[in-house]
């Protein structure tokens, strides 16, 4: 829009102007009207007449005409700028779905919108404060173009305090009456205090009088002294009575003032409680989506973003029953979040992915080899320090709990009945088709994501060299199909809690051996046979023989298959030879020295196993059995 020159604007005058000048006025009128129509606003500016003359030649122009000219120019400029302004639309959104990762969560929100032709900024408040702004993704339906999307903080201005208009009529009247009464009683108290001050001053003057203090001629005359004393007593009694009355009135009015002030404070507290908090609020987390449209459009907006301070930890329950020959695996997720926004009635998806882990493939660089340089000895020792030893922590569960048999049938559905496993390329996701409400308080909520019955084989194991007990072990296979992650597992056997173990799919073999505890009805004993254990010297060699006996007894009412494990020593010294003696049908691993027998014991049956070994070594050396 071209700017207007004030010298080309004409004011109404009593005389006629040339036709060319008149046409300029008409053109200016039409321009103003067209701008008004485009901006859909009424033309409230001054109306120009068609008959006028130049401003500097107008004999009847005045200050009002000048104001009309500049009002017209301001209106035209404002109308043109309003056509280019961006509309802002604040809408509400709700959380529809949340994908919970091992660290973090992906929040999905939905909202409805309506925009006018032009460019519109759609503002959505209530976003999680822990949002990762880089993860914001926006989709929308409708004939619009998404120009931009961003996360920002908005600091609202404090709301001004409300007047008394919103209070009930009786409360407003009471407040007005109390305020007036307090003002009146304040003046009354001031009046009483003034009277008290005058009486106190009178008493001071009377007490300081020379006649009362025995000064002057009063000491020369008994009659004058008597009159002075009588006057002093009478006047002081009168003043004290007046002061007593005034102080009593003052105390009564102060008590009334205190009661009225307390009542007024109560009404003012009611006013402040019923009105909005006028203090400045904290920042508002919002997402702004800029769209462009050629017409009025309504549609749906869906956007998602990643938040921190949320996640889940896995937990397993392994429940086994020897009568069924199966192990039930409950795969549970302990979901927590402290994102600043509650998740109410949302659909959860539990994912084994961790978006905060490194996703960049490692790169190998050249590996150089050179001669070793001896470390230089310094005054305080060698400069090189040996690397610290690395220890591997192993987890093992054990318990002495008694086994209790209990058969209970449960038909109620669980969350696992509504979960679906989606096996992605690099992670697994469990979609749970149930609404969950999780408050933003960092508390853990148990979500059952899978419930599988696994086929297991039950066997008894014993290692009498270490522990003279027989353990029931369930061997479970094909766990890699369940997409497990390392976590603790609670063990239940025949309805009783046995203990806790640790499942780590990254280190497990194809078969998981799950110890279910000791069986007191199977007895095992390992004994060194001293009579058959001997030591002798043959030439330059010394020969040592050790023999052992393992006794087994089945006190159960059913047969039991027991696997007994023991071992023979092994050596890495070529001067030492080791031979097995009478191992029977044991499976012998010469590399590790492991001996393993599998024996089927009938009910009330006993069995004995004998084995031994022979060690030959130089008679001038001593050996250790570590």
Q: Please name the helix (run of DSSP H) or strand (run of DSSP E) that holds residue 35, with its range, or none.
A: helix 19-38
Q: What is the pLDDT of residue 124?
A: 94
pLDDT at 79 over 70: no
Distance (Å) of CA 550 to CA 169, 230, 561, 597: 98, 129, 16, 11
**What is the mean pLDDT of the segment spanning 442-449?**
91
pLDDT at 445 over 50: yes
Q: What is the pLDDT of residue 398?
A: 40
pLDDT at 55 over 90: no
Q: What is the pLDDT of residue 384?
A: 47
Comparing 67 with 178, the larger pLDDT belongs to 178
Q: Judge whether 336 and 102 are in contact, CB under 8 Å.
A: no
Q: What is the pLDDT of residue 350?
A: 92
Give residue-wise pLDDT tens across range 523-571: 999 999 988 888 888 888 888 898 999 999 999 988 999 999 999 999 8
Comparing 389 with 252, the larger pLDDT belongs to 252
Residue 532 CB neighbour total at 10 angstroms: 15
pLDDT at 266 over 90: no
Instruction: To the nearest 10°, report the CA torsion of 163, 166, 171, 175.
Output: 0
Tokens 């027991």 belong to: 562
pLDDT at 113 over 90: yes
Q: What is the pLDDT of residue 509?
A: 66
pLDDT at 36 over 70: no
Where b means 16+ CB within 10 Å and e means fewer, 441-462 reads eeeebebbbbbeebebebbbbb
Strands 467-477 and 511-518 come out as antiparallel
Lowest-confidence pick of 88-97, 153-162, 198-207: 153-162
Tokens 């961006």 belong to: 86
Comparing CA positions, the residue from 276, 279, 280 lying closest to residue 162 is 276
Helices (H) and strands (E) in the chain, counts: 4, 30
Q: What is the pLDDT of residue 32?
A: 45
**What is the mean pLDDT of the segment spanning 7-24?**
41
Q: What is the pLDDT of residue 292?
A: 94
Band (111; pLDDT cuts 50, 70, 90):
very high
Give residue-wise pLDDT tens across range 153-171: 998 876 655 555 556 777 7
Lowest-confidence pick of 56-65, 127-136, 293-302, 585-594: 56-65
User: To the nearest whole number, what is the mean pLDDT of the chain?
Assistant: 77
Band (602; pLDDT cuts 50, 70, 90):
very high
Band (336; pLDDT cuts 50, 70, 90):
very high
What does the alpha-carbon distance between residue 93 and residue 108 come to, in Å, rounded to a whole number?
Answer: 10
What does the alpha-carbon distance between residue 567 and residue 548 come to, in Å, rounded to a whole number?
Answer: 11
Q: What is the pLDDT of residue 620?
A: 86
Give residue-wise pLDDT tens across range 463-485: 999 999 999 888 887 777 777 88
Question: How much of the chain exceeds pLDDT 90, in percent?
Answer: 34
- The count of residues in the chain is 626
pLDDT at 397 over 50: no
Band (216; pLDDT cuts 50, 70, 90):
low
Q: What is the pLDDT of residue 213?
A: 65
Band (381; pLDDT cuts 50, 70, 90):
low
Give residue-wise pLDDT tens across range 603-625: 999 999 999 999 998 888 888 76
Residue 606 CB neighbour total at 10 angstroms: 12
What does the alpha-carbon distance between residue 450 and residue 430 come to, in Å, rounded to a whole number?
Answer: 8
């Amino acid at each position: 829009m071209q700017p207007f020159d004030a010298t080309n604007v004409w004011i109404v005058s009593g005389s006629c102007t040339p036709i060319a000048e008149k046409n300029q006025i008409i053109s200016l009128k039409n321009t103003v009207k067209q701008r008004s129509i485009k901006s859909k606003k009424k033309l409230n500016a001054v109306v120009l007449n068609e008959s006028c003359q130049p401003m500097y030649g107008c004999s009847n122009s005045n200050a009002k005409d000048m104001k009309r000219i500049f009002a017209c120019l301001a209106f035209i400029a404002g109308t043109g700028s309003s056509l280019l302004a961006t509309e802002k639309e604040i809408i509400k959104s709700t959380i529809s779905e949340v994908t919970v990762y091992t660290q973090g969560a992906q929040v999905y929100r939905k909202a409805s919108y309506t925009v006018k032709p032009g460019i519109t900024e759609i503002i959505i408040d209530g976003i999680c404060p822990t949002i990762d702004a880089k993860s914001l993704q926006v989709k929308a339906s409708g004939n619009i173009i998404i120009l931009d999307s961003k996360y920002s903080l908005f600091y609202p201005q404090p709301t001004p305090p409300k007047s008394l208009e919103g209070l009930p009529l009786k409360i407003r009247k009471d407040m007005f009456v109390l305020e007036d009464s307090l003002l009146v009683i304040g003046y009354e108290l001031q009046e009483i205090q003034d009277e008290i001050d005058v009486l106190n001053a009178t008493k001071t003057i009377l007490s300081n009088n020379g006649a009362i203090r025995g000064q002057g001629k009063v000491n020369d005359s008994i009659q004058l002294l008597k009159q002075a004393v009588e006057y002093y007593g009478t006047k002081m009694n009168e003043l004290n009575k007046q002061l007593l009355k005034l102080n009593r009135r003052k105390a009564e009015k102060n008590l009334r003032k205190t009661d009225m002030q307390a009542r007024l404070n109560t009404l003012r507290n009611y006013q402040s409680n019923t009105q909005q908090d006028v203090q400045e609020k904290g920042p508002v987390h919002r997402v702004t989506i800029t769209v462009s449209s050629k017409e009025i459009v309504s549609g749906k907006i869906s956007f998602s973003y990643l938040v921190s301070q949320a996640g889940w930890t896995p937990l397993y329950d392994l429940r086994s029953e020897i009568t069924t020959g199966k192990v039930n695996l409950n795969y549970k997720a302990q979901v927590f979040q402290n994102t600043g926004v509650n998740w109410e009635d949302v659909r959860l998806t539990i994912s084994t992915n961790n978006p905060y882990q490194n996703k960049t493939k490692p790169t190998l660089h050249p590996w150089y080899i050179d001669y070793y340089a001896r470390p230089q000895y310094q005054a305080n020792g060698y400069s090189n320090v040996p690397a610290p030893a690395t220890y591997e922590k192993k987890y093992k569960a054990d318990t002495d709990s008694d086994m209790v048999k209990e058969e209970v049938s449960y038909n109620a559905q669980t969350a696992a009945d509504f979960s679906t496993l989606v096996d992605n390329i690099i992670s697994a996701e469990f979609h749970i088709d149930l609404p969950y409400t999780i408050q933003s308080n960092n508390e853990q909520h148990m979500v059952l994501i899978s419930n599988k019955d696994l086929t297991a084989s039950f066997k008894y194991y014993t290692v009498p060299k270490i522990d003279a007990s027989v353990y029931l072990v369930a061997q479970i296979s094909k766990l890699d199909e369940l997409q497990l992650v390392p976590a603790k597992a609670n063990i239940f056997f025949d309805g009783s809690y046995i203990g806790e173990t640790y499942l780590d799919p990254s280190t497990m073999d194809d078969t998981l051996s799950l110890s279910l505890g000791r069986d007191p009805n199977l007895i095992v004993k390992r004994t060194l046979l001293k009579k058959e254990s001997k030591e002798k010297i043959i030439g330059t060699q010394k020969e040592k023989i050790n023999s052992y006996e393992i006794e087994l007894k089945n006190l159960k009412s059913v047969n039991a298959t027991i696997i007994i494990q023991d071992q023979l020593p092994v050596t890495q010294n070529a001067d030492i030879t080791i031979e097995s003696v009478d191992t029977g049908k044991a499976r012998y691993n010469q590399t590790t020295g492991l001996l393993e027998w599998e024996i089927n014991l009938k009910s009330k049956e006993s069995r004995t196993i004998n084995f031994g070994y022979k060690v030959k070594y130089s008679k001038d050396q001593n050996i250790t059995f570590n």
